[in-house]
Amino acid sequence: GEDVEQSLFLSVREGDSSVINCTYTDSSSTYLYWYKQEPGAGLQLLTYIFSNMDMKQDQRLTVLLNKKDKHLSLRIADTQTGDSAIYFCAEKGSNTGKLIFGQGTTLQVKP
């Protein structure tokens, strides 16, 4: 069945780059997403990438997709303390609207 895996924790220093990795199993995935969840807040979409793209850049965020290896990454440049949150990777297969989420990566940014 579909599965999405992420590492659970990442700690970086303010100003460094953060890279959060994700792997998925569904070869029919059409869209892949990164959501952010801050303490006490709801899930917020950060960015998404269509499966025929390799890369997408949006200000400090860079998403890389290796479809052959089913590997997705999110790079946050110049990480700030306000970036501390849980980051969820999710995939959407073809012919469905449902999202399959990873376990979430807690990003800790130290000043």
Partner 1 sequence: GAGVSQSPSNKVTEKGKDVELRCDPISGHTALYWYRQSLGQGLEFLIYFQGNSAPDKSGLPSDRFSAERTGGSVSTLTIQRTQQEDSAVYLCASSSSPGTGFEQFFGPGTRLTVL
- Considering only residues 56 to 85 of the shown chain, the ones binding partner 1 according to CB under 8 A are none
Q: Which residues between 5 and 24 bind partner 1 (CB under 8 A)?
A: none
Stretch that binds partner 1, among 17-25, 62-70, 71-79, 102-110 (CB under 8 A): 102-110
- Distances 69 to 29, 43, 74 between C-alpha atoms, Å: 13, 27, 15
31 scored as a contact of partner 1 (CB under 8 A):
yes
Helices (H) and strands (E) in the chain, counts: 0, 11
Non-local (6+) Cβ contacts of 44 within 8 A are: 35, 36, 37, 38
One residue of 24, 63, 93, 102 binding partner 1 per CB under 8 A: 102
DSSP secondary structure code for residue 15 in this structure: T
Residue linked to tokens 């303390």: 81
- Does 93 help bind partner 1 (rule: CB under 8 A)? no
99 binds partner 1 (CB under 8 A): yes
Interface residues with partner 1 (CB under 8 A) are 30-31, 41-45, 48, 50, 88, 90, 92, 96-104
